Amino acid sequence: MYVLHIRCILCRELGIIFWKSVPLDLNAGKRDQEPEAWGRGYMNILFIGDIVGRPGRNLVKVLLPSIIREHKVDFVIANAENAAGGKGITGPIKDELVGAGIDVLTMGNHVWDNKAVFDFIDNEPRIVRPGNYPGDCPGQGYHTYISGNCTRVTVVNLSGRVFMNSLDCPFRTADRILDEVRGTSDVIIVDFHAEATSEKQAMGWYLDGKVSAVIGTHTHVQTADERILPGGTAYITDVGMTGPMDSILGMVKEEALHKFLTQRPVRLTVARGRSQLDAVLLRFDPENFTVKTIKRVRYYSEE
Ligand SMILES: [Fe+2]
Ligand SMILES: [Fe+2]
């Protein structure tokens, strides 16, 4: 009997890790390893890009246990605004992703697309939606968690406003949230869910030295600009997408093309086929909780 087994093929120059699905390999212990152990002596946080539909969820379930084990990941954050058929999230899907090993699910402009979210978001501390929605919206814009190694990790979700909904100012909302969590967090991770690269870079510079990381989401395409800013904040414009590769942002490409060609509304559905998992690994010095490295990773399945 064959079962899915994950083998790591490293591209050391680019720092990108490609994974392939192959039949069960009884020599698993001999598979390629990174030259330096990622986790030893450090605290590691994995941030996974927008999970799109069933293909994205399935890849998370298959890969995440191996990723956690191989890279000594202590805490996992994932954007799940597209987890339910590309639009929003449901209770069972939330449980599915948490069961796969994700500690916190962040959201974005699709947070309210599936009305089932209203049934549980107020009672689910593991979901964080953009904090700059109007004050009477259900859910929470940030939350502080205790990771497995007793580190206090605050996860903040903010939405951009350029080419997006006109919400409260994300910059001033960040100020307000940081005032509230000051002194009670060791690590602060901001998911800035925004369309415009300029607005994302602006948020990175605005929060440099004030938070541990500003991770961009929403555009579904991983950018190659990850870095530690001068003030010590890790930054990437967009972490990417977890879902079907042969698609347009995770959706069936013919449907999206039809929409562009006809300029008429088209119902978009999640694509099928081989999938990718995009993420960044953040490595922290456990002595002072400063972020030492941010590393892009990409995994994919062949089917
Ligand atoms: Fe998304
Ligand atoms: Fe989005």
Residue range 226-244, pLDDT digits in tens: 999 999 999 999 999 999 9
pTM more than 0.85: yes
145 within a domain of the structure (yes/no): yes
10 within a domain of the structure (yes/no): no
pLDDT at 26 over 90: no
Please give the tally of structural domains in the chain.
1
Domain that holds residue 249: 43-262+271-300
29 within a domain of the structure (yes/no): no
pLDDT at 276 over 70: yes
Instruction: Determine the average pLDDT of the residues in 92-107.
Output: 98
226 touches 236 (CB < 8 A): yes
CB contact set of 98 (below 8 Å; sequence gap of 6+): 105, 126
Q: How far is CA 301 from CA 55, 59, 186, 248, in A?
A: 10, 8, 35, 17
23 within a domain of the structure (yes/no): no
296 touches 16 (CB < 8 A): yes
Binding-site sequence positions for Fe cation = 50, 81-82, 109, 193, 218, 220
287 touches 265 (CB < 8 A): no
- Residue 118 phi, psi (nearest 5): -70, -20
d(CA 68, CA 58): 16
pLDDT at 25 over 60: no
137 within a domain of the structure (yes/no): yes
Collect residues with CB below 5 Å from ion ligand 1: 50, 82
Strand partners, 278: 298
252 within a domain of the structure (yes/no): yes
Query: CB-based burial of residue 146 (10 Å sphere; 0-12 exposed, 13-18 middle, 19+ buried)?
Result: exposed
The order of strands in the sheet holding 187-193 is 142-146, 152-159, 187-193, 213-217, 234-236, 227-228
Mean pLDDT of the chain: 88
Using pLDDT thresholds of 50, 70 and 90, give the confidence band for residue 42.
Answer: confident
138 within a domain of the structure (yes/no): yes
| Rounded distance from Cα 191 to ligand 1 centre (Å) | 12
| Rounded distance from Cα 81 to ligand 1 centre (Å) | 6
171 within a domain of the structure (yes/no): yes
- The CATH number for 70's domain is 3.60.21.10
Catalytic residues: 110
